[in-house]
Amino acid sequence: MKKIFRILSLCLISTFLLVGCGNSKNNEKTTETGKKIEEKSSVKAESVEQKKVYVTPEWVKSVIDGNQEESKDYVILEVSWGDEEASPTYLKGHIPGAVHMNTDNVESEEMWNYRTPEEFEKLMKDYGITKDTTVICYSDVGTNSADDRVAFSMLWSGVENVKCLDGGLDSWNKAKYDLEEKTNEPSKTDKDFGVKIPAHPEYVLSIDQVKEKLGKDENFKLVSIRSKDEFIGKTSGYSYIKRAGEPKGAIWGHDTDDGSYNKEDGTTVGIDVVEKYLKESNASLENETSYYCGTGWRAAIPFLIAYENGYTNVTLYDGGWNEWQMDDSLPVQVGDPASDDVEYKTVKELPTDKAKN
């Protein structure tokens, strides 16, 4: 009798161990037919402040998983120039639910400045975006400024909660989160955007405002976010811009394309780096700073860094060098203004053989 009792006890213990170990190790459920299905984990990242722009892949995943209360209404934009077939990564694999955003949707070909408020109103409806939608932008890698360009346009328009995936798709892949290859169409809405576009016209300076401030306002600093060769006039940096130089009075703020605004892991630098670059030209974050590049992409990055750190004395000169060099009468500098190796002239006097090959 004792032998039978011991056998029954061992069987019960073995059964308990097998069931318990199986559930804890594999985290599996079974269907009615007994087929095992694996449960996917739900990511719960800490919430971030509304003005925080650059966010982790964990935060984006937690939004997708429904674990960010303030971001239940969200849109994820995979941003690059051209349609989705021209995207480096969209059809190869994108963040689940992401829709493609062509940068042409936010800027026009005339000078590659932002489109009209009326065009933005239509764009927002076409993509199901209101001022209360959380808009998450990303590009293929962290050094691609296409997503920053679109993110800035969303803030300018009036979207209150705008994010960029820090480090781009590279960071998502490093986190080993899933991708999908199917095309996602934007979900149109008939809802009113909720505020007159642009809600923040003060974020952008026109060429006339820049001309007015340069040379007259000592606190104003026009900061070039371009390569050193572009800044000193060796090349325009663009195949369609024939002249090279900078607006007279501009200072250099380093280039985003060469990694100056990225950490070793591809994520975005902090406000201390922006401060360091300004200090090189005897400027600081206490100055009124307006960032520009060729057509506004690269310049969006230092603006967004300053924005998320609470600075309100920063703007974007949207027209950049492309618009400046279209006016023959405007003053320019060629060379480094911090040295004796600089020339001052007008746009009309510049050679027209400086386009990027």
**Strand-pair partners of 246:** 333
Q: Which string of b and e fits 226-265 if b means at least 16 CB within 10 Å?
A: bbeebbbbebbbbeebebbbbbbbbbbbbbbbeebbbeee
Cα–Cα distance measured from residue 326 to residue 319, given in angstroms and rounded to the nearest whole number = 10
Nearest Cα residue to 102 out of 82, 119, 86: 82
Q: Which of 11, 21, 137, 293 is catalytic?
A: 293
Residue pair 222/278 in contact (Cβ under 8 Å)? The answer is: no
Residue pair 149/78 in contact (Cβ under 8 Å)? The answer is: no
Assess whether 164 carries a catalytic annotation. Answer: no
Question: Cis peptide before 88, with omega less than 30 degrees from 0?
Answer: no
Residue with tokens 């694999």: 93
Residue pair 150/303 in contact (Cβ under 8 Å)? The answer is: no
Cα–Cα distance measured from residue 281 to residue 204, given in angstroms and rounded to the nearest whole number = 23
> Which residues 6+ apart lie within 8 Å of 52 measured at CB?
163, 308
Q: Assign residue 263 a region: left if phi > 0, alpha if psi is -120 to 50, beta otherwise?
A: beta
Q: Helix 117-126 vs helix 146-157: angle between axes, to the nearest 10 degrees?
A: 110
Residues annotated as catalytic are 293
